[in-house]
Structure 1
Amino acid sequence: MEQKPESQLSWSKESEKVLNLFKAIHKVYRDHLYQKSRQYGFTGPQIGLIMGLHKNPYSTLNELSDCIGLSKSTVSGIVERLVCQGVVIREIPENNRRIVRLSLSPEWQKDNALYELLNKYLYNVLEKATEEEMTKIITGLEILYELISKDDDV
């Protein structure tokens, strides 16, 4: 078996560390998101769908299924429950009566503080960082973004 040069081995260990940190940060934030969502009477998948519609309003069921990584039948059930709760609305566009667009109801968006709480959580965490730490965080994230957005192999 051919051994990799030491520079490639150290890169592998470092890239694994970045990946593990990224996953750990995502898990902590997701756990906080789910904890807050339960306080508002939502399940994890429901809050995932709500956040998906917040980022991509007027999505179809297929688009939403792809966005949040759940099967179409699962998303359909979640949508049905959220429609009954007045959170999600279904709209059939005049120019294409064969599709149904989904969005968050304006009434729910107006009266819901969940987004504010989630943004406040991250804001409060970052507020504790020193100026030097914030600069490092921003620089690191900008570098990661640049590397990911330039990678044609993905």
Structure 2
Amino acid sequence: MVEKAIFIRESIDLLQSYMMKSLQKHSEERGVTIPQARVIGEVFAHKKISIKHLSQNLKMTQSTVSDIVERLTSKGLLVKTPNPNDKRSVEISLSNELSKGINEDITDIANKSLGDVLSLLNPNEQEIVEEGMRLLVSAVKEKMETEGMDNHEFFDVLYFQEKTK
């Protein structure tokens, strides 16, 4: 069972890496560097985040992250606001302009990237992949419910199941 779990985890890591590389490629085509895209992605994931936490999450120095944030702020992509809980720090968030389009862009890019991969499989193989994902997501949902985890932080499993039926 452990070997299967390792294979699945490594497969998910590979898929996630592929998706990130697709997003990075798309970002570069729009004039945003890979480190800038990583910062934007991390801010997007957290809604509001400090330079310190960005640095820790991205495994970059605070000065590097601070420089990237400054460049993205001057481009109008990020906004810095005083942290209400700590007047010595600021919270980084997406600008209104960027936040309006980023959800659709990320979804479109992700869907196209996975669609391109799925097109390499025949229709029967595509069905097998879809059914396997449905089973895995269903098991994850069940495990989360038995352990009292809130699945809203991760994704809406019902939405996933309804969209794939």
Q: Choose which of 83, 98, 105 in structure 2 pairs with 1:114.
A: 105
Q: Choose which of 97, 119, 144 in structure 1 pairs with 2:87.
A: 97
- Under a length normalisation based on structure 1, what TM-score does the superposition of the two structures give? 0.70
Cα RMSD over matched residues?
A: 3.1
Runs of at least 4 residues of structure 1 off by over 6 A?
126-129
1:116-131 equivalences in 2 (<5 Å): 116-121=107-112, 124=115
Which range is displaced more, 24-33 or 132-141? 132-141
Deviation at residue 99 of structure 1 after TM alignment: 1.7
Question: Does structure 1 residue 141 correspond to structure 2 residue 141?
Answer: no
Q: Relative to 1, partners in 2 of residues 1:114 and 1:42: Cα closer, same or farther, differing over 3 Å?
A: farther
- For 1:80, the equivalent position in structure 2 comes to 70
CA distance in 1, matches of 2:67, 2:32: 14
CA distance in 2, matches of 1:135, 1:125: 18
Percent of aligned pairs with the same amino acid:
20
Residues 36 and 114, structure 1, Cα contact 8 Å, conserved in 2:
no
Larger Rg: 1
CA distance in 1, matches of 2:57, 2:134: 26
Task: Identify unmatched segments of 5+ residues in structure 2.
Answer: 148-165
- Under a length normalisation based on structure 2, what TM-score does the superposition of the two structures give? 0.66
Task: Identify unmatched segments of 5+ residues in structure 1.
Answer: 1-10
- For 1:25, the equivalent position in structure 2 comes to 15
Q: Relative to 1, partners in 2 of residues 1:143 and 1:71: Cα closer, same or farther, differing over 3 Å?
A: farther
The DSSP-based 3-state class of the residue aligned with 2:88 is coil
Residues 22 and 110, structure 2, Cα contact 8 Å, conserved in 1:
no
